[in-house]
Amino acid sequence: MNPRSHLGLREQPLPHVRITTGPTLPGWTFPLTQALTATALLTGATRTDWLTQPLLQTTLLALTALLVLRPTPTTAGILLTATAILLWTSGDGPFDPRVLWLAPLGHLLWRTTWWAARTPPTARVELAAILTGWRQTALVLAATELLALAAWGVTALPGVGPAILVGASALAALAVLALPREE
């Protein structure tokens, strides 16, 4: 006897459900992108004559490996801080034009770290999910590039080195206050 018969329910076939997805990326692309971006950031921020030092090579490799093995905001922050320190110590003026291409790479590293922390290598992620908020990201990166270009132009003026350092610190503080916190 069917247990549903006393409730007045009858057997019905289940509806056919069809699910489609758009184009996807495999999950293993995020750690790969992380490693390539971290390598580009660290080597791009380093003076070329320093790259032959074994201690620096080991440190750069260890930082990249740590980020790939533990993709967390903390490890991404450590790597971005190391990039900033390398850029600061290897520069020869108040503003280094390498910032113009290192800033978008830093953002790419941050985004891929977020995805790598949440996506197993065997999973697939739809491109529509990855590109969510791309307009806002493009706007922030464009504003960052414009600020960097303005700072580069201002560095031609005499005696503005300390003012740029104060301005960069204020911009970093503003970014920390404006960015949403992960819970």
CB 85 within 8 A of CB 70: no
Nearest to 43 by CA among 69, 55, 29, 61: 61
Q: Can you tell me the distance from the alpha carbon of 21 to that of 90, in angstroms, rounded to the nearest whole number?
A: 47
Residues of the chain with confidence (pLDDT) below 50? none
Question: pLDDT at position 8, please?
Answer: 64
Q: Can you tell me the distance from the alpha carbon of 182 to that of 173, in angstroms, rounded to the nearest whole number?
A: 17
Question: pLDDT at position 40, please?
Answer: 93
Query: For residue 105, how many other CB atoms are within 10 A of its CB?
Result: 18
Question: pLDDT at position 176, please?
Answer: 76
Question: pLDDT at position 5, please?
Answer: 61
Instruction: Scan for tokens 């978008």, then name that residue.
Output: 104
| Cut 0.85: pTM above it | no
Question: pLDDT at position 70, please?
Answer: 94
Domain range summary for the chain, segments of one domain joined by +: 25-154
CB 176 within 8 A of CB 81: no
